[in-house]
Amino acid sequence: MNTSHDDNLFKTDDLELEKIIAEINNEKLTAAEQQIIDEDILESLEDLQPKNKKDKARMELHDWVQCVVGAIVIGIVIFVFFGRSIGVDGISMMSTLRHNDRIIMSNLFYTPQNGDVLVFQTGCDEFGGNPLVKRVIAMEGQTVDINFDCGHVYVDGILLCEPYLDEPTFVRNNFEGPVIVEEGHIFVMGDNRNHSSDSRDSRIGQIDTRKILGRVLIIAIPGPDAFGNRDWNRFGWIDDGIPCPYGYKCICNIDCGCMA
């Protein structure tokens, strides 16, 4: 068998094939040939698409499920680490907060300060064990006194001018002052001062800071009025007062100033 002759034939065929391929590569395609190639490409792309409407609907449903699950996960993260939404029940914080307002509170890295509006757990059966929302009037070590004849509140002998009040503080409950706020506690009152159960009431008293659930940050959804209308101008951050030169938040009226 002439193996050498056969090898030469194969080599010749390979050279001819390579020559033909090179000529095809160098040859410019006609418009008809280009159209055929384009149609082949389009058919290949169509093969990658869903083969029927059911497949397409299934893919869309999958995308929606992913979006919903993602939103739920983000909501849980926000709830656990940043804040939570609760509803206001009652009128003790009017006009700052109103009945059925939806508020956002947070206890992330939170330390209570004078003037903060916060939510705390009472553990008092008379209130059904429900959380209450009030304003911080004094911190531990500070002295609180109230002149019920003129409705003035004093902290460390300094008059608190409170523009968030609709009326002065005339209701005593069973408060007997002056009182010094105990260590690890705060003294709180509602902004609707004469219709609020708060630290003036011995059933609640001074609040252990360990029972604080969080500071109220935002009115997210204003509650409806008697006619079912919502005042969206009330949407936004809760005002906790203006800086006071005495070192704590002194809520001062227009021209009254901070008086000893």
Q: Quick one: 104 and 19 in the same domain?
A: no
Reported confidence tier of residue 161, pLDDT bands at 50, 70, 90: confident
Q: What percent of the chain has pLDDT over 70?
A: 64
The whole domain housing 19 covers 3-79
Q: Quick one: 94 and 156 in the same domain?
A: yes
Structure tokens belonging to residue 221 = 């959804």
Structure tokens belonging to residue 138 = 């004094």
Q: Is residue 257 part of a domain?
A: no
92 flagged as catalytic: yes
Reported confidence tier of residue 42, pLDDT bands at 50, 70, 90: low
Which tens digit of pLDDT belongs to each residue from 84-140? 888 999 999 998 999 999 999 988 888 999 999 999 998 766 676 789 999 999 999
Q: Is the pLDDT of residue 162 over 70?
A: yes
Are the beta carbons of 221 and 103 closer than 8 angstroms? no
Can you give the pLDDT at residue 242?
47
11 flagged as catalytic: no
Q: Quick one: 102 and 66 in the same domain?
A: no
Domain count, the chain: 2
Can you give the pLDDT at residue 30?
65
Can you give the pLDDT at residue 66?
83
Q: Residue 219: which of 236, 240, 232, 239 has the closest Cα?
A: 236
Structure tokens belonging to residue 151 = 């409705």
The single residue listed with the structure tokens 């809520």 is: 251
Can you give the pLDDT at residue 69?
78
Are the beta carbons of 84 and 77 closer than 8 angstroms? no
Of 31-35, 149-153, 237-241, which gets the smallest average pLDDT?
31-35
Mean pLDDT computed over 43-70: 69
Structure tokens belonging to residue 145 = 């006194």
Q: Residue 143: which of 182, 96, 195 has the closest Cα?
A: 182
Q: Quick one: 62 and 92 in the same domain?
A: no
The active-site residue, picked from 92, 196, 197, 199, is: 92
**Cα distance between residue 34 and residue 22, in whole Å:** 18
The active-site residue, picked from 134, 196, 197, 199, is: 134
Q: Quick one: 191 and 127 in the same domain?
A: yes
Can you give the pLDDT at residue 10?
43
Q: Quick one: 202 and 75 in the same domain?
A: no
Can you give the pLDDT at residue 251?
46
Q: Is the pLDDT of residue 237 over 70?
A: yes
Q: Is residue 256 part of a domain?
A: no
Q: Is residue 249 part of a domain?
A: no
